[in-house]
Amino acid sequence: MPSAPEAAQGREKLLTILDPGMAQTFGHHYAYNTALLPAGRAAGFTASCLVSRHFPRELLAGVPGAVPVFEKNFYTELARAQGSAQALKETAEDFAHALAKSPARNLGAGDILFAHSFDAARILGTALWYKEAGNDVPALALNAMLGFNGRDDCRKTLAAACALLSPCKKTRLFGGTRAVAAILSDLCGKACAMLPSPLPDKLEGYRSQPERGPLFGILGDGRKGKNLHLLAPTILRYLSQGGRGGFVLQLTPTDEEATPHLLALHDVAARFPARVNLNFERLDDDAYFRQLGTLSAIILPYGAETYHRYRPSGLVVEATAMGVPLIAHKGGFAEDETSGLNNGSVLLEDMSVGSLLTGLRLFAEESGRRRALGAEAAPAYSAGHGAGTVIKKLLPLG
């Protein structure tokens, strides 16, 4: 059997994306890869994406080039690894073993392996596998993103991965946020750029204006860490006290701890059926972007303790690219990502029922102006997050 470098000769170069988190069902969890794969092919690569076996089969057909590989549930393993050095080590080693048995082992010189949206355990696991793979390995682009919070334990894990990868000349580390890129640059002693979250081109085609009043949206996974407990009392008070507009609550339940808060939202929707649309169904990319395009603003009840400057939200990127302003907290990714961009967003000092209520009222009073600002800011922002732009940053590696 020919070696990987020999097999690489005489064929198109390979671009393989690792995304074991591609296991859930909400649109923006895999829109990144549905955008990256065709952009990679347009750049002359044979592109594929290695995803979790937990990825729903009915949605897998919508991502040509996606190959289910990883056995363990990403979110379960991420939770297990947090706060325990031994659990993190075991999770990293498990991931390294999974890579050694995956199609990634067939990659060789001239190919690119893009580890996208990675947490501490999988960054360390990728580094362990890559170091063990030897000299005839593909160029590695590693994008540190999910789960980092700037704490010492995260920095130590990044430092360990950087030490493993530093002798490997065909690697490049990126930060998924400005804050993570700064940490990597400090650890590596050289500049590590931020790599923006890749988005499909021409998202503006999904944009439409609400017919009546502001339409506030809450889209994403229904799970722990998103302050979902604030939503039902905030919406109830807003509507009971004469607030304008309506709400679209498109939440995919993925966490049992969120169930009581989703049930509370169900009760609010039953009380205001003409003003609150609550839906738990799974959306594909097209349906998700069509839904997002109808909204006046996105409500992000996330607090700084979970969605901080080190951890991005795909919804922030997608909404901003489509001209939809945000109602979010200061000091987090939403503020960092929209810094210097006057797109009509409302940023709150803290995240509570009272502050969210104030944010909703403020936006409703100025909804026309704020929606116009969002639409004006979107084209330039979107251009910087196109999948083709991201692929161009990877091309020098191949």
Average pLDDT, integer, range 45-52? 89
Name the band, by pLDDT with cuts 50, 70 and 90, for residue 27.
Answer: very low
Give the Cα separation of 258 and 235 in Å (integer).
17
With a cut of 80, say whether residue 65 has pLDDT above it: yes
Does 12 fall in a domain? Answer: yes
Tens of pLDDT along 329-348?
Answer: 998 888 988 888 999 999 99
Strand order in the sheet with 139-144: 66-70, 45-52, 13-19, 112-118, 139-144, 171-175
Are 333 and 308 contacting, i.e. CB atoms less than 8 angstroms apart?
yes
| CA separation for the pair 346, 327 (Å, rounded) | 5
**Run of H or E including 347:** strand 346-348
CA 123 to CA 119: how far, in whole Å? 6
Mean pLDDT of the chain: 85
Say which residue, 61 or 163, is predicted with more confidence. 163
- Per-residue pLDDT band at 6 (split at 50, 70, 90): very low
pLDDT at 28: 46
CATH number of the domain within which 237 lies: 3.40.50.2000
pLDDT digits 0-9 by tens, 345-381: 999 999 999 999 999 999 999 999 999 999 999 988 8
Q: What is the mean pLDDT of residues 313-319?
A: 86
Q: What percent of the chain has pLDDT over 90?
A: 34
What digits encode the pLDDT tens for the residues 118-158?
A: 778 888 999 999 988 875 788 888 887 766 777 888 888 88
> Residues for the chain: how many in total?
398
User: What 3-state DSSP class applies to 16?
Assistant: strand
Whether residue 27 sits in one domain with residue 147: yes
Q: What is the b/e burial string over 131-162, where b = at least 16 CB atoms within 10 angstroms of the residue's CB?
A: bebeeebbbbbbbbbbbbbeeeebbebbbbbb
Instruction: State whether 130 and 273 are in the same domain.
Output: no
As for how many domains the chain has, the answer is 2
Of residues 191 and 282, more confidence is placed in 191
Query: pLDDT (tens digit, 9 = 90+) per residue, 166-217?
Result: 888 888 888 888 888 898 899 888 899 888 877 876 777 787 766 678 999 9
Cα 198 to Cα 126, 280, 333, distances in angstroms: 21, 26, 16
Q: Quick check: is 388 in a domain? A: no
Evaluate whether 294 touches 272 at the Cβ level (below 8 Å). Answer: no
Q: Which domain holds residue 269?
A: 203-383
Q: How far apart are CA 359 and CA 364, in angstroms?
A: 9
What pLDDT was estimated at residue 325? 96
Single out the residue in 163, 195, 227 at which a domain terminates.
Answer: 195
71-86 pLDDT per residue, tens? 877 767 777 777 788 8
Q: Is residue 260 a part of any domain in this protein?
A: yes
Structure tokens at 340: 């210097």
Q: Is the pLDDT of residue 394 over 50?
A: yes
Helix, strand, or coil (residue 54): coil
Return d(Cα 300, Cα 226) in angstroms, integer.
8
Q: Does 174 share its domain with 49?
A: yes
Q: What is the pLDDT of residue 26?
A: 45
- Say if residues 46 and 17 touch (Cβ distance below 8 Å): no
Residues 189 and 217 in one domain: no
* Cα separation values, 52 from 73, 76, 88, 142, 386, Å: 7, 12, 19, 18, 25
The model's pTM is 0.84
| 3-state SS string for 87-126 | HHHHHHHHHHHHHHHCHHHHCCCCCEEEEEEECHHHHHHH
Give the span between the Cα atoms of 76 and 311, in whole angstroms.
Answer: 18
Domain presence at residue 395 = no
